[in-house]
Amino acid sequence: MDISVVVPLYNEEDNVQLLYEEIKGVLDTMAEQAEIVFVDDGSRDTTLAKLEVIQAGDDHVRVVSLRRNFGQTAAMTAGFDHARGGVIITMDGDLQNDPHDIPQLVGKLNEGYDVVTGWRYDRQDPFLSRKLPSQLANRLISRVTGVGLHDYGCTLKAFRREVIDNINLYGEMHRFIPAIASGMGISFTEVKVNHRARRFGTSKYGISRTIRVVLDLITVKFMLSYATRPLHVFGTVGVVSSLLGVTIGLILTVQRQLFGIGLANRPLLLLAVLLIFMGIQFITIGLLAELVVRTYHESQKKPIYYVRKVLGEPVERAG
Ligand code: UDP
Ligand code: MG
């Protein structure tokens, strides 16, 4: 199997058939062997029934039915686990992404990139509730992660299998796969893709998603930059805070002992104590995080590096 198209679906009954026909039409024009993995994310309408009918008539379709609604990221991960292709394409199941862009994405991968992401340059969604927050979020993500993409939220993306295999997703982090993968040293690029307005069904998200995206961004940034050295982050803050507190404390002590200036009405004393306490806490949290990080890496045999390739065989010792 060369290509797996992974599609998460939650209450998309009116889109399923059209989507299948459109994807199939595109895959049939391609030379590569391809399969479609539909993941029903606990839909409460007839989505699953429609998928079952489609699957019965086409061996190249796999349907993964989740027991309840686990969310888009979990649904996509379930799809990855059941996909057999060396290339994995993800797309939305609401017909907003255009399957006709698939050959374009695969072409870019064949040029040597590990990840190709779609850029909805002419996005067909409401401005205030979707495009504006998304634009701000995209800029923020680019700034913080140093990954220079225009559109992180576009589900239409293509990955080499190794990229997906090395990433564990939590929360709603599917949009951060390129950013997380950038920490592995993979190469990525983006291509402009078509985007269409939703014709059937309703969007599953509201404006509150923005907050969750920002929170996920903090996690990703931390994992990317400091996951193998948390004490450097917490410890730096802690040391600076403690030093500041101790300095203020010393000044107050000198003033009290040598010049007889009373301490009862000095708010600075409170600040000094607070800074020292905070400092100690930050350092302690950093140490705890060091323990957690070691458990995380060592219990799962997770490397702190990723090898591109190794040249030469190990030489056997004589004797
Ligand atoms: N989706 C899902 N599980 C969920 C929410 C959404 O599988 O809990 C699917 C949904 O069916 C669609 C895709 O994820 O195929 C994107 O969702 P939606 O179109 O609602 O997001 P938007 O385009 O509005 O950002
Ligand atoms: Mg949509």
Q: What is the pLDDT of residues 247-276, one digit of tens each?
A: 999 999 999 999 999 988 889 999 999 999
204 lines ligand 1 (CB under 6 A): yes
Closest CA to 96 of 59, 56, 51, 151: 151
Closest CA to 230 of 180, 300, 181, 294: 294
Q: Check residue 235 and give its pLDDT.
A: 96
Distance from residue 188's CA to the centre of ligand 1 (Å): 24
Q: Check residue 304 and give its pLDDT.
A: 82
Closest CA to 193 of 74, 102, 310: 102
72 lines ligand 1 (CB under 6 A): yes
Assess whether pLDDT exceeds 80 at residue 37: yes
Query: Strand 3-9 to strand 87-90: parallel, antiparallel, or no bridges (unpaired)?
Result: parallel
CA distance 190 to 205: 24
93 lines ligand 1 (CB under 6 A): yes
CA distance 263 to 267: 9
Three-class secondary structure assignment of 127-141? HHHHHHHHHHHHHHH
Q: What secondary structure letter does DSSP report for 31?
A: S
* pTM, entire model: 0.88
Of all protein residues, the one whose alpha carbon is nearest to atom 16 of ligand 1 is: 92
69 lines ligand 1 (CB under 6 A): yes
Amino acid at residue number 72: Q
**Count of H-run helices and E-run strands, the chain:** 10, 7
Of 39, 94, 127, the one to substitute when testing ligand 1's pocket (max ligand atoms within 8 A of C-beta) is 94
Of 41, 70, 204, 212, the one to substitute when testing ligand 1's pocket (max ligand atoms within 8 A of C-beta) is 204
- Which tokens is 271 given? 């600040």
Confidence of residue 318 (pLDDT cuts 50, 70, 90): low
Residue-wise pLDDT for 188-225, tens only, equals: 999 999 999 999 999 999 888 889 999 999 999 998 88
71 lines ligand 1 (CB under 6 A): yes
